[in-house]
Amino acid sequence: MEIITEIIVQQEDIDHLGHMNYMKYLTYLEKGVIEWYAKSGVGKEGLDKRNLGTVLIKFDVSYIHEARLGDKLRIMTNLTYVGNKSFVLKQDIYNENQEHLTDCKKTFVMFNLETRKGVPVIEEIAQQFSPADKTS
């Protein structure tokens, strides 16, 4: 399942170099993750009821091209790997000209909030993964 989050670069996103500040990319990528969780049926409330969460254990981001004021960005979020206790979300940001601006891979671990230990990835997440179409 691919989720597309659309955002327009605002004045407050711009740094002194005249392009979007690197921290804004991270904020927008996180919005994509939140939307992916919601659309895959894994909301915060549901995880809280089960005393579960996800912990980011690895974050790899590449800035390829700059985003500028007024650019219409598309953040594409896909599940690319599911292990026993971990999973990977890959994200790409494109502008309205289809230029690839950023790519990112985030590795998460399912986490029991009481025991503070990793647990198997829940079915709602695992079922979003199709090994035939993905690469990690």
Per-residue pLDDT at 136: 46
Render pLDDT for 34-63 as a digit per residue (tens, 0 to 9). Answer: 999 998 888 788 888 999 999 999 999 999
Compute CA 105 distance to the chain's CA centroid, rounded to the nearest angstrom: 8
Render pLDDT for 84-119 as a digit per residue (tens, 0 to 9). Answer: 999 999 999 999 999 999 999 999 999 999 999 999
Per-residue pLDDT at 131: 67
Burial annotation 103-131 (CB, 10 A radius, 16+ → b, else e): bbbbbbbbbeeeeeeebebbeebeebbee
Domain locations in the chain? 2-130
Residue with tokens 């921290």: 23
pTM: 0.89
Q: Which CATH class is domain 2-130?
A: alpha beta
Task: Give the H or E element holding residue 34.
Answer: helix 22-39
Per-residue pLDDT at 55: 95
Count of other CB atoms within 10 angstroms of residue 22: 12
